[in-house]
Structure formats: C-alpha cells, structure tokens
C-alpha cells in the first residue's frame, strides 16, 4: 500500500495564511508571535494532523513508556471504571500510566496537559467531560496542538467541544432519551432532575436528551423541578434536599449520574419518603455499587471498562488527517428503584416538621 503523503510545514503555513518561518516559530513554542497568527497556525496544524518526521522520531526516542490520563475525580466509580480499562490495555502494551484528577477545575486540566507534555508521555487521554467554555477550549487547543504536531497522540472520552481529537463517544443524549422512554412507559408523567454543572458537555447531552424525549411525549419538565448540584454523592444529597425544600411534585426523580442518585436516595429516606413506593429514582452509568443498594437502582448502563480500553486503543493507533469518533451504545436497566406511580400527579410531601409531629 503506498504511503500517504506527509503533511509539510509549508502545507500548514499555506493553510494558515502565514509564512513558513512564522509557522515554524509557533510550532516550536515561540511566544513572540501575534495571537491571531498563533491561533491560525495551531488550528491548521491540528486540522491537517501535521507531524514533522524529525520531531516525531525525536519524540519517540525521548518519550517515556507512559501515557497520561486526566480525569475529573478518580474517586468517582465512573472514572475508576474507565481508568481500569485504560490501565489493563496499557499493561498489555508494556506502558505505564500517569494519572491526574482535576476535580473539574478547568485551569488544573490545562496545567496537567502542560505537565504531561513536559514528561514526554506517548499519549494523553482526556476521560472526563469536556466544558462548554470557549476560553478553556482555546487554552486546551493551544496546549494540545504543538504536542500533536510533534508526534504525540491525544484521545478523549465524551464530547470535547472545540478540540480536534479522536473521541470515544458514549451516547449520553440517546441514553438519557431511552431512559426517559422507559420511565414514561411505567406511567410517569411528573419528573424531577438532579443535574450537574451546566458547563459540562455530559450534563448538556444527558439533560437535553431526557427533556427532548419527554417533550416528544407531551410532557414538560418544570424549571423548579431541575436542581443543579455537584457530580458527587454529596452533590446528589444536597440537590435532592433542595428539591424537597422547593416542593417535590414528581413521581420520578432522575439523577444524571449514579453517584448523585446514591446521595439522593439517602436524602429521600431522611425525609420519610420510600423508594419507589412514594417516588421512583433513576440514575445513569451503572457503576457497580448501585446493584447492591436497597432498592437496586434503575439506570442507563455504559460499558465503563470497555470505554477505557477503546480510548487507549485509539490513542495507540497512528494519527489520521481527520479526527475519529467511536460511538458506544449502552442499555436501560430497570431495577426495583422504579415502579409505576402510586399517587396522583401534583402530589407534594408534607414539610419535614409536619411529618415529624404526626
């Protein structure tokens, strides 16, 4: 098979509308270049998958036998499951893994990429949600483009708006829509949602898919029944508590992650509500612990370890002129935390003080 023609520095310069000297300065990390020219060169290099052969060979010789993995919180079973798949595949390839947790701080994520570039890792994997944030996108692209241009590989899990990288894409929007359909089929028409930070692409996709499926069935999700919290167990607990303070009218509560659902389950019980007798509860991801809850949690199952294996395998493949997307399906798993609604629409539980006095 004939080799694909190598993209040259002149190709990048022509695509960016700059001189080869300017393109060279940008790709070699020079800072005294106008910001607009720098952005054009980095965009062109990323779009063309520019990999200068001498630089790529130097990177291969000098790089450590390691891959860098950046997630939001390794203590979250969602990320632990993906990281397990990454680490097993890396071990099979004789590679080490450098792991960083950003705790969903944008600046920390960019700093980790910069640090891993300095460590000359063979690949960088972004396994946390992307951000709907233009400054973050620009900063990340500015870090990643020179690394890719020098022969480094980058792959991501979930949608990363504005980054031209290979992506393993769990069907968050489609999964949330499928879960909504299953809950509607149980007879629910009044819903509440415990959501994460609105800047996360995962939140945008899951909440959007759920709302769209309800709308297609003629069901409206009331704004005061959508409560934002952290994507953590405590975030779920606090969001559910706030939902009860506002007045729970839903017969079914959907938490956008299982870890939020775990906290929500505790909050509902502390307020005297039984699941699913008083209110149904559903999550998303199917982390291992949810099958052991009482009651076991209805959720949308993603193949977490397989996501990790796929993104690791993608990062080990040669770069292509265009970024690739590997879409991964999941499935609705109905368990005992959901049941047909047993009370009329519009019902609201009594305030905690009233229940205690009864």
94 shares its domain with 104: yes
Looking at residue 263, what is its pLDDT?
A: 98
Task: Residue 246: give its domain's CATH number.
Answer: 3.40.50.2300
Above 60 in pLDDT, residue 106? Answer: yes
- Comparing CA positions, the residue from 269, 164, 253 lying closest to residue 210 is 253
51-60, 201-210, 313-322, 329-338: range with lowest mean pLDDT: 51-60
Give the structural domain span for 320: 61-170+306-329
**Residues 272-277: contacts with CB within 8 Å, 24+ apart?**
272/349, 272/352, 272/355, 273/248, 273/349, 275/337, 276/336, 276/337, 276/338, 276/339, 277/339, 277/342
Q: Where are the beta strands (DSSP E) in 243-352?
A: 252-255, 280-282, 299-301, 325-328, 331-333
Do 181 and 165 fall within a single domain?
no
Rounded Cα distance between 111 and 98, Å, is 14
Residues 134 and 69 in one domain: yes
Question: What local confidence, expressed as pLDDT, does residue 288 receive?
Answer: 94
Whole-number Å distance between alpha carbons of 241 and 263: 10
Name the token pair of 187.
């007879």
Residues 320, 278 within the same domain? no
Alpha-carbon span 116 to 315, nearest angstrom: 15
Secondary structure of residue 75 in the 3-state scheme = coil
Mean pLDDT of the chain: 87
What does the pLDDT average to over 176-205?
A: 96
Claim to verify: residue 125 and residue 142 sit in the same structural domain = yes
Is there a domain that residue 344 lies in? no
**Structural domain contains residue 205:** yes
More confident residue, 320 or 300: 300
Do 178 and 281 lie in a common domain? yes
Domain contains 272: yes
274 and 205 in a common domain: yes
Q: Confidence band (pLDDT; 50, 70, 90) for 163? A: confident
Q: Is 21 found in the same domain as 83?
A: no
Q: Is residue 355 part of a domain?
A: no
Mean pLDDT of 10-21: 82
pLDDT band at 343 (very low <50, low <70, confident <90, very high): low
In this structure, are 177 and 294 located in the same domain? yes
What does the alpha-carbon distance between residue 118 and residue 131 come to, in Å, rounded to a whole number?
A: 24
> Which of 96-110, 153-167, 267-281 is modeled with the greatest confidence?
267-281
Q: Is residue 261 part of a domain?
A: yes
Residue 27 has pLDDT above 70, yes or no: yes
Q: What are phi and psi of 293, to 5 degrees?
A: -70, 165
For residue 247, the surrounding DSSP H or E stretch is: none
Q: Indicate if the pLDDT at residue 6 is higher than 80.
A: no
Q: Are residues 165 and 178 in the same domain?
A: no
Residue 28: predicted pLDDT = 66
Q: Tell me, what's the pLDDT at 1?
A: 43
Alpha carbon separation from 256 to 189, 200, 281, 348 (Å, rounded):
18, 12, 11, 22
Q: Give the chain's domain count.
A: 3
For residue 31, what is the domain's CATH number? 1.10.260.40
């Amino acid at each position: 098979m004939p080799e694909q023609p190598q993209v040259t520095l002149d190709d990048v310069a022509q695509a960016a509308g700059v001189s080869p000297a300017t393109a060279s300065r940008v790709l070699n990390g020079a800072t005294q270049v106008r910001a607009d020219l720098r952005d054009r060169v980095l965009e062109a290099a990323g779009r063309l998958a520019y990999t200068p052969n001498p630089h790529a060979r130097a990177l291969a010789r000098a790089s450590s036998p390691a891959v860098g993995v950046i997630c939001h919180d390794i203590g979250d079973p969602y990320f632990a499951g993906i990281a397990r798949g990454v680490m097993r595949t890396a071990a099979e390839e004789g590679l080490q893994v450098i792991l960083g947790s950003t705790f969903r701080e944008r600046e920390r994520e960019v700093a980790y990429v910069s640090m891993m570039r300095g460590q000359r890792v063979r690949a960088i994997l972004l396994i946390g949600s992307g951000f709907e944030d233009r400054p973050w996108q620009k900063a990340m692209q500015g870090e990643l483009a020179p690394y890719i241009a020098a022969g480094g590989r980058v792959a991501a899990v979930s949608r990363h708006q504005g980054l031209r990288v290979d992506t393993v894409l769990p069907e968050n929007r489609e999964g949330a829509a499928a879960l909504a359909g299953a809950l509607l089929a149980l007879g629910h028409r009044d819903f509440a949602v415990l959501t994460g930070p609105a800047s996360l692409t995962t939140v945008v996709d899951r909440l959007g898919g759920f709302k769209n499926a309800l709308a297609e069935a003629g069901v409206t999700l009331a704004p005061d029944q959508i409560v934002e919290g952290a994507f953590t167990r405590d975030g779920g607990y606090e969001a559910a508590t706030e939902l009860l303070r506002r007045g729970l009218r839903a017969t079914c509560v959907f938490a956008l992650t299982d870890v939020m659902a775990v906290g929500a389950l505790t909050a509902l019980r502390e307020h005297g509500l039984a699941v699913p007798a008083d209110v149904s509860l559903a999550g998303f991801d199917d982390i291992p612990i949810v099958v052991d809850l009482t009651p076991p949690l209805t959720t949308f199952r993603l193949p977490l370890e397989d996501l990790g294996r796929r993104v690791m395998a993608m990062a080990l493949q040669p770069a292509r002129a265009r970024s690739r997307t590997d879409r991964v399906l999941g499935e609705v798993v109905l368990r005992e935390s959901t049941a047909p609604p047993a009370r009329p629409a519009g019902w609201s539980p009594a305030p905690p003080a009233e229940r205690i006095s009864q």
